[in-house]
Amino acid sequence: MIIYGVALLSVCLLVGQFTGELLGQWLGVQANVGGVGIAMLLLVVVCESPRLAVLVKGAAGEGIRFWSAMYIPIVVAMAASQNVVAAVNGGMLAIVAAVVAVVLSFALVPVLSRSANASSQHDSATPGADS
């Protein structure tokens, strides 16, 4: 049943968001702390559990796969409803701060992911061959 998968997805998101809200309150932060991330972990765990297979096998899985395939169109709609005017007219301070922050963050990606790959590949028989 397709609705099993869709319902599972909904419950994961709701439980994740709720946990994120509680975590935020507990830490004294006025924000949801990782609600979506917790929901994703929950979904991954359910998918790997053999006892809950009925919720993700066959048609039920299609209910989740459909939303996963809708992800890009939803992101396109999200892009179309951003406050781009404010970003373009942001003034020099906002633009300089954002550009420098983004460029430096981009530059750090290969540095940190190299150490991620190094720490997961203990059999370093081929040094320098970063995958």
Partner 1 sequence: MNALQSVVVANGLVSAFAVVGLLVVLSYYLSARLTHNRIHGSAIAILIGLGAAWWAGNITGGSRGVADLGLLAGIGVMGGGMLRDFAIVSTAFGVKLGELRKAGLVGTLSIFIGVALSFVVGVITAALFGYRDAVSLTTIGAGAVTYIVGPVTGAALGADSAVMALSVTTGVVKSVLVMACTPWVARLIGLDNPASAMVFGGLMGTTSGVAGGLAATDPKLVPYGALTATFYTGAGCLLCPSLFYFLLRAIVEA
Residues 71-110 close enough to bind partner 1 by CB under 8 A: 71-88, 90-102, 104-110
- Nearest alpha carbon to residue 34 among 42, 48, 44, 24: 24
Q: Does 70 bind partner 1 (CB under 8 A)?
A: yes
- The maximal CA–CA distance of the chain, rounded, in angstroms, is 56
Q: Does 53 bind partner 1 (CB under 8 A)?
A: no
Token look-up 């633009």 returns 95
Q: Does 26 bind partner 1 (CB under 8 A)?
A: no
Q: Which is nearer to partner 1, 84 or 125 (CB)?
A: 84
Q: Does 127 bind partner 1 (CB under 8 A)?
A: no
Token look-up 């203990």 returns 122
Q: Does 125 bind partner 1 (CB under 8 A)?
A: no
Q: Does 33 bind partner 1 (CB under 8 A)?
A: yes
CA distance linking residue 57 with residue 20, whole number of Å: 28
